[in-house]
Amino acid sequence: MFTPLYKFDFFGVEISFVVAVIIGIMFGFTLERAGFGDAKKLAHQFYFRDMTVLKVMFTAIIVAMIGTLLLNLVGILDMSLIYLNPTYLGPQIAGGVIMGIGFVIGGYCPGTSLVASATGKVDGFIYIAGALFGMLIFGETFPLFQDFTVSGFMGNAKLTDLLGLTPGVVAFLIILMALGMFWGAEILEKKFGAEES
């Protein structure tokens, strides 16, 4: 195994920042091509008129998930060296509820608001201003709920541990679930998306 390249010291911090810009360009380019610079397209997800968000997200998750598993299988990628988001169920669930509310009201998520602004959307700039303000409030009030931000800690928990299944089986189940959702998404779009011009 010789990847992740950065973890095997193929290059240092300075080069990693150059890599960051390049990866960012590909990320932003793809988000724009998916139509994620348009708040209406994103918000229509929540009215079953345009299920692009679900389709793009789950296709991407599946591709990256299968890719890492395969590269690990053939001895190229050491998956234990990939950063794994630690689980803090309390703040992640509460944050999820809050972000769902913000998503429908604001029309973007942080990443897509950047792409929207980059293509001239005024509401994108205002959303970013709002997001920065919300983060300032979070930082200022953090001491008040500091204990809650570490509640429900489960370490580097993975679905494989939770379900007691191998990564391959979990991946297979996720693919099945995604295919089911894609099928449902196509039906919903036919039903609710017709009035779109």
What is the x/- site pattern for other proteins, positions 56-85, by CB under 8 A?
A: xxxxxxxxxx-xx--x----xx---xxxxx
Per-residue binder mask for other proteins (CB under 8 A), 168-197, x = binder: --x-----------x---------------
Q: Which residues contact 103 (CB under 8 A, 6 or more apart)?
A: 42, 43, 46, 109
The pair of three-digit structure tokens given for residue 184, joined into one six-digit string: 């449902």
Minimal distance in Å, beta carbon 165 to other proteins?
10
Q: Per CB under 8 A, which of residues 21..50 are in contact with other proteins?
A: 21-35, 37-40, 43-47, 49
100 sits near other proteins (criterion: CB under 8 A): yes
Nearest to 54 by CA among 160, 163, 188: 188
> Binding to other proteins by residue 161, rule CB under 8 A?
yes
Task: Output the CA–CA distances (angstroms, integers) from residue 3 to 26, 79, 119, 168, in the order listed.
Answer: 20, 9, 35, 20
Query: Minimum distance from CB of 52 to other proteins (Å)?
Result: 5
Of positions 75, 140, 147, 194, contacts other proteins by CB under 8 A: 140
- The sign one gets for the Cα dihedral 70, 76, 80, 86 is negative
> Which residues from 107-126 bind other proteins, rule CB under 8 A?
107-124, 126
Least distance in angstroms from the C-beta of 176 to other proteins: 15
Cα gap 5→161, rounded to integer Å = 27
DSSP state of 77: B
